[in-house]
């Protein structure tokens, strides 16, 4: 049988200058200002393993909120004094870190936000078990990845929730239903079954449509036919 995963906690030492942790290492609060709120998980995270936090405190006087992602930086070897004020863009530019801004509507007080990376290297997030959105598509696989969060701006305090408890994750949350665009490019459009699938929907990332059908769905329903997430834009695939 598999060894149970250690419950995720915040790393006790590698944290921003304004961060205070509770005695259990599960609550991270930012004391002052709107930055210097970087925190890490104490262990690497597995593909498709959700990192789940509850927003405990929300301050309206700031703009922007929680940032989330993954990094190859082992926090055990990261001096707290070396951390920059922000995950985005500072830590992302300075190190092998892939993070993104969580939409402000996700990070209201009391909301539960989960984020994870798929086997394709996509960074995904969901709020309150709603359909997930794609935040990034470029997380580099092949090395251990620690979760990194920035208790930034309107997000004043977060609590890491226990994901080691038995949980049946619907396939819609695994990230695998969101195929890599390279998997769908050149295939037939899922709507007309004629033209090539060369377009993806924003923000859900589904790429099973030709450009014409994607725009028609956007105009007529503004909901993805696969996950029913609201469509905000349509974009062509640009593959290497």
Domains along the chain with CATH numbers: 10-174 (2.60.120.920), 181-236 (3.30.40.10)
Task: Report helix, strand and coil shares of the chain as percent, to nearest 5.
Answer: 15, 30, 55
Give the confidence band of 231 by pLDDT, cuts at 50, 70, 90. Answer: confident
Nearest in space to 148 (alpha carbons), one of 97, 83, 111 = 97
Q: Residue 164: its pLDDT value, please?
A: 52
Burial string for 114-132 (b: 16+ CB within 10 Å, else e) reads bbbbbebbbbbbbbeeebb
Q: Which whole number is the average pLDDT over 101-126?
A: 90
* Side-chain-side CA neighbours of residue 13 (13 Å): 9
As to burial, measured by CB atoms within 10 angstroms (0-12 exposed, 13-18 middle, 19+ buried), residue 237 is middle
* Residue for token pair 């070396």: 82
Give the confidence band of 174 by pLDDT, cuts at 50, 70, 90. Answer: very low
Q: Which whole number is the average pLDDT over 183-193?
A: 72
> For 55-206, where are the alpha helices, taking DSSP H only?
92-94, 171-174, 181-184
Reading the block at residue 36, the tokens are 């210097």
Residue with the bigger pLDDT between 169 and 46: it is 46
Q: Which residues contact 148 (CB under 8 A, 6 or more apart)?
A: 38, 39, 40, 41, 68, 69, 70, 71, 73, 87, 91, 97, 99
């Amino acid at each position: 049988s598999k060894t149970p995963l250690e419950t995720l906690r915040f790393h006790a030492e590698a944290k921003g200058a304004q961060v205070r942790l509770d005695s259990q290492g599960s609550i991270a609060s930012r004391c002052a200002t709107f930055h210097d709120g970087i925190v890490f998980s104490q262990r690497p995270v597995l593909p498709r393993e959700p990192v789940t936090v509850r927003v405990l405190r929300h301050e309206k006087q700031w703009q922007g909120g929680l940032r989330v992602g993954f990094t190859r930086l082992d926090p055990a070897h990261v001096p707290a004094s070396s951390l920059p004020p922000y995950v985005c863009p500072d830590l992302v530019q300075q190190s092998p870190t892939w993070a993104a801004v969580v939409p402000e509507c996700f990070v209201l007080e009391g909301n539960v936000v989960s984020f994870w990376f798929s086997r394709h290297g996509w960074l995904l997030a969901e709020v309150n078990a709603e359909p997930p959105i794609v935040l990034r598509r470029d997380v580099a696989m092949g090395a251990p990845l620690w979760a990194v969060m920035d208790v930034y701006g309107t997000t004043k305090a977060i609590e890491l929730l226990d994901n080691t408890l038995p949980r049946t994750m619907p396939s819609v949350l695994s990230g695998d239903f969101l195929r890599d665009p390279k998997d769908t490019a050149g295939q037939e459009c899922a709507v007309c079954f004629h033209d090539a699938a060369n377009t993806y929907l924003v923000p859900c990332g589904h790429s099973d449509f030709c450009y014409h059908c994607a725009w028609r769905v956007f105009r007529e329903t503004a909901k993805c036919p696969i996950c029913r997430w609201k469509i905000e834009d349509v974009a062509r695939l640009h593959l290497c």
